[in-house]
Amino acid sequence: MQTLSVAEFKANLSSILQQMQEDGEEIVIAFGRGHKKVAKLVPYTEDTGDRVFGQFKGMVEIPESFDEENEAINAMFYGND
């Protein structure tokens, strides 16, 4: 992981982006006289994972009482009117 000052980053933005695209390297941006690290630039990656619907079928059980209201919980949210 490379650390650059804001000035270095601004002056070399195109080449830095090209390097990130080729190498996949992360860049940390430092700011001010104390070179405080303020940001991290990471390469973008496409999310290629397909969503699988029903993958937990048979593994999760929802109780019959799931939709029933509970007076104690209602009192916490809505008060005791």
CA nearest to 1, candidates 33, 47, 44, 43: 43
Q: Which pLDDT belongs to residue 81?
A: 60
Residue 65 lies in a domain: no
- The whole domain housing 19 covers 2-41
Residue 28 lies in a domain: yes
Domain total of the chain? 1
Based on its alpha-carbon atoms, the radius of gyration of the chain, rounded to whole angstroms, reads: 25
Residue 58 lies in a domain: no
Residue 79 lies in a domain: no
Task: Find the CATH number of the domain harbouring 29.
Answer: 3.40.1620
Residue 10 lies in a domain: yes
What's the mean pLDDT in 5-26? 91
Backbone phi, psi, residue 12, to 5°: -125, 30
- Quick one: tokens of 15? 């080449």
Residue 21 lies in a domain: yes
Q: Which pLDDT belongs to residue 46?
A: 84
| pLDDT, tens only, 25-70 | 999 999 988 999 999 999 988 877 788 888 888 898 889 988 999 8
Beta strands 27-31 and 2-5: pairing type?
parallel
Residue 16 lies in a domain: yes
